[in-house]
Structure formats: structure tokens, C-alpha cells
Amino acid sequence: MTLVITLVTPNGVWASTDHRLTQHPGGKVITDSSVKHVIVRGSDGAALVSYTGLGRVGALDVSAWMREVLRGESRTVDGTLIDLREQATARIGAQAKSLNIQHAFLAGAFLKERPWAVVITNMGSPAGPSSGRIQSAFETTAMPADEPVVFAAGSGRDAIVQADRELLHRVSGHKPRRPEEFMRLLGDVNRRAAESGHPGARLVSRACSVVFMPPSGDDVRREWYGPEEDRALAPTGFSHMLFGIDLGEMARPMIELSQALWSGEITEEEFSKRTEEAARKAVQPRQRRKPTK
């Protein structure tokens, strides 16, 4: 479970995700360093996708699972979100239903620089007869965000204090002087929710990651916000899909191998061999399943 807050506006998308994973149904804390977002760049735009519900697929955080199943093919953003919906149905739909867990992927996207707010969920279409009931199949709802859209989801949603709810809706209609202003605001709202004393607050980590994606999809910014004593829990690396290339899979070994080459621990031949291997792995999909009919 988690707390996801997303602002989708014509000026950009901002999303904060906490880092807590808990056991179901007991609520025992597993970790406070889970990554819960993926940035997707496609041929027609970009999307910032966060999630709430099931935290892991097997031993993988859902964000890592998303990158594994989506990599290897340069899709449009729309095609990527369709594929994510189908893979989620095939891989986690039945499990989430059996555990009675509401799961949702929340996306702020720019398609040819027009903003869209997208929800992929196992709770059924809002207008459909199955709305409000957990299903094994995921469905998509999308709306243009020419007027700002504010998402808040997860078990910690009700822990957001009323003053912060009103503040988020009020400021979303304005363009900040700098993106960091909204980023800091979302970080503060997450922390206040975690410290609110509401029953849902125990499922929210005090620290969170906040991502800003501009309409162009370029110059994406990510910051960690939280108490200094929790900084050791801040996740490292990338959670970014670029035209089918999993930068999170490629960047870490590239950095480590460059350092090893610089220090003389490996030869240039070994460096070339292992960097080619890392590049191949970054475009090799894993754990894909045949979509269910």
C-alpha cells in the first residue's frame, strides 16, 4: 500500500510516491525504500506512471516489473499504457482480486504536448456496472487535462489533512515560478499525511520521491524529500524507459564498470564486453505473459 499524489496540468506533471511496502493483511513494514514510479518516453510523447496496491510481483518491486515487461520495443505512449494494462491483467489481476487489493496505475501524460490524466485499475470503469468491485481484469479511464487534475490514491489517501487537500486543488490551477515549488509542496503533504495520526498514516513512509515531467518529456527532475535521519533509505538509480530502453537497468552497471576501468580493476576489453552485455539486457523484455482474452 502507499500514498500517491499526482498533479496533471498543462504546465507539467508532478507526482509524489512514498516508499513504504507492508505485508498484507497484517501491515508489518517490509521496507521504506521502494520505488513506485516509472517515466516512459515514447514516439508520441511521455508519461509519468505511479502505482498503488500490490507492491511486488514475486521478488520485484512493481516498478521494476513494469520496466522488465515493457522494455525492448519502442512504442507510443498510448501503446505502452495499453500493453501495461494487458500485462497487469495477465500477471497480477487474479492475485490482486484473491487478496482483495485495489490496484491502480496513475499516469500523467503528454501526447503531442497535450496533457492527459489516465487511470488503469482493477476497480472497473467509473461508468460501468462493475465500478467499485475488484476485478481480475484491469480497465483504463483517460481524460484530457486541459484543466488541472489532482489524483490522490492509496491507503494513505484519507490521511491527507483537509487543509492540504484544499491547497493542492487551489495551487494546481497556477503555474509555479519554478517546478521545485510544487515538488516541495508534494513532499510536505506526504510527510504531513504520514504524521497525521490517521489510521492510514501507518502505511505511508515519511519520505517520498517527487518527480516533475515537463510537457516536452525532457529534463525530468526527481528529488527525495524526507527527514535527514531517513536519507540512507533514499532509493538510487533510474526508473526510466526511453524508447524501449530500460535506463534503470543500463545506468547502474555502466557507472560501476566505468569506475572499475578508471581504477584499473578491469581491462578495456573486459569493459567493452560487459557494457555490451548491460546494453543487451536493457532492451531484453522479461516476465511477459500472453494477454488474457
Express each pLDDT in 181-201 by its tens digit.
999 999 999 999 999 999 999
The phi, psi pair for 89, rounded to 5°, reads -60, -45
Other beta carbons within 10 angstroms of residue 111's beta carbon come to 17
The pLDDT of residue 26 is 78
Each residue's pLDDT tens digit, 162-179: 999 999 999 999 999 999
Work out the average pLDDT over 39-47.
Answer: 95
Please report which confidence band the pLDDT of residue 137 belongs to, taking 50, 70 and 90 as the band edges: very high
Residue from 169, 170, 91, 181 nearest 137 by CA: 91
* Buried/exposed 92-106: b ≥16 CB within 10 Å, e otherwise: bbeebbeeebbbbbb
Topology given in CATH for the domain delimited by 4-246: Glutamine Phosphoribosylpyrophosphate, subunit 1, domain 1 (3.60.20)
pTM of the model: 0.92
| Residue-range domain boundaries for the chain | 4-246
Residue from 110, 109, 87, 88 nearest 97 by CA: 88
Please report which confidence band the pLDDT of residue 236 belongs to, taking 50, 70 and 90 as the band edges: confident
What's the mean pLDDT when you consider all of the chain? 92
Higher model confidence: residue 128 or residue 11?
A: 11
